[in-house]
Structure 1
């Protein structure tokens, strides 16, 4: 048997590697990374791209001084070349693969996803009592009390702690029925009590924040497309 790893007093042989990875539930991760390696094998990086990638990596990990960078290298890598090949250059290749594969599809994908990416700030009161819901809606219509006052006193969810205010949150992260209502609302529009599961909701849209295809959104959408592709490969 061939020794593959020596971990302290424990010797791990080649025959033990796969059973151990399986028992530690690490085989899916190994397969994932292997698929990625195959996908980026033909990607090449210029020296300028690599240098910029190093700079970004150090900034993102707050390794701003030479001492911090060297300490990180000594802790995780044998040398700077090891770090570049095993980590930084690999991440750079993955990003280049994403842009090459889906970069020209981002605008159409963004438009497809925009209705879920738009953010809203809204006020919410929820109760299980129909009579209370109707009374609170009437008070709001007549402006007898503010939404915040009523939410603090009557709302039965966590929004009571914020005077009913929720957000900003993406429409795609909230209940589809509520998201649909908010998507057709105008700022300041108050809706009569709406049944949703075991609750009655009184909702008012405060602000709609349209999603924008900026740099951070481009990175996010590329990551989504990449992960979707990777899941297809894994299955």
Structure 2
């Protein structure tokens, strides 16, 4: 990479030793890739208008003072505030055609769930409470608030919405296979007895926003891979 040719052998070794070389390579490689992705003036003006509103900047004179304070020119500032959208535009153009297949591979990880949870250490008490709830003798939320030994007692047992994969693998299996509203028998996870009921599933869908997110995810993975290749090359040379 041309921008890194200024680094001598000692600098490369020092940066790599302190785990700074790879982030630097990624940043410079990213800048190189999106360099030619300029926005139209109309879009830039919209972004500037939002910035002015958020920062309560009244006009161009105040904006110029801001640039002076930051010691950057207008073009540099615009490059900074349009950075994220240019990344998305690049990802959409280069990897948009792979976005849907990537989404289908990751869909299970993207789906969310809301569930009610009660956890406690005593298996006999857990069994007793499960029977009371499942037979309609007690309300799940009331029992969770009174008996649950985790932080979910504050929310009457409600957890989520959260990504399915954020839960313990054993709990994930129960959540995936449960019908909404069904109270599951207590399961053992580590030292806990867990009673769980699925309240709602939030299935991810492939729309424009998701397409951009998936394309960006692919781009980030490719960027990481390419950066590591460059890193190994620089280390082997030095």
TM-score interval, smaller chain: 0.7 to 0.9
Aligned to 2:188: 195
Aligned to 1:33: 27
Query: How do residues 1-235 of structure 1 correspond to structure 2 at under 5 angstroms?
Result: 26-43=20-37, 45-55=39-49, 58=51, 62-63=54-55, 65-67=57-59, 69-85=63-79, 87-88=80-81, 90-235=83-228
Q: State the alpha-carbon separation in 2 of the partners of residues 90 and 160 from structure 1.
A: 43
Residues 225 and 15 of structure 1, relative CA distance in 2, 3 Å threshold: closer
Q: State the alpha-carbon separation in 2 of the partners of residues 124 and 232 from structure 1.
A: 40
Question: Bigger relative contact order, structure 1 or 2, given CA contacts below 8 A and separation 6+?
Answer: 2
Please identify runs of 4+ aligned residues in structure 1 that moved more than 6 A: 14-20
Aligned residues of 1:50 and 1:92 also touching (Cα < 8 A): no
Task: Report the 3-state secondary structure (helix = DSSP H, G, I; strand = E; otherwise coil) of the residue aligned with 1:211.
Answer: coil
Aligned residues of 1:32 and 1:234 also touching (Cα < 8 A): yes
**Count of residue pairs the alignment pairs up:** 219
Q: State the alpha-carbon separation in 2 of the partners of residues 152 and 176 from structure 1.
A: 25
RMSD over aligned CA atoms reads 2.9
Residues 176 and 69 of structure 1, relative CA distance in 2, 3 Å threshold: farther
Q: State the alpha-carbon separation in 2 of the partners of residues 208 and 91 from structure 1.
A: 31
Q: State the alpha-carbon separation in 1 of the partners of residues 69 and 172 from structure 2.
A: 47
TM-superposed deviation, 1:66: 3.7
Residues 222 and 55 of structure 1, relative CA distance in 2, 3 Å threshold: farther
Aligned residues of 1:159 and 1:165 also touching (Cα < 8 A): yes
Q: State the alpha-carbon separation in 2 of the partners of residues 175 and 131 from structure 1.
A: 22
Bigger helix fraction: 2
TM-superposed deviation, 1:32: 1.3
TM-score, normalised relative to structure 1:
0.78
Q: State the alpha-carbon separation in 2 of the partners of residues 65 and 106 from structure 1.
A: 38
Unmatched 5+ stretches in structure 1: 1-13
Aligned residues of 1:152 and 1:163 also touching (Cα < 8 A): yes
TM-score, normalised relative to structure 2:
0.77
Q: State the alpha-carbon separation in 1 of the partners of residues 199 and 173 from structure 2.
A: 15
Mean alpha-carbon deviation: is it higher for 31-40 or for 151-160? 31-40
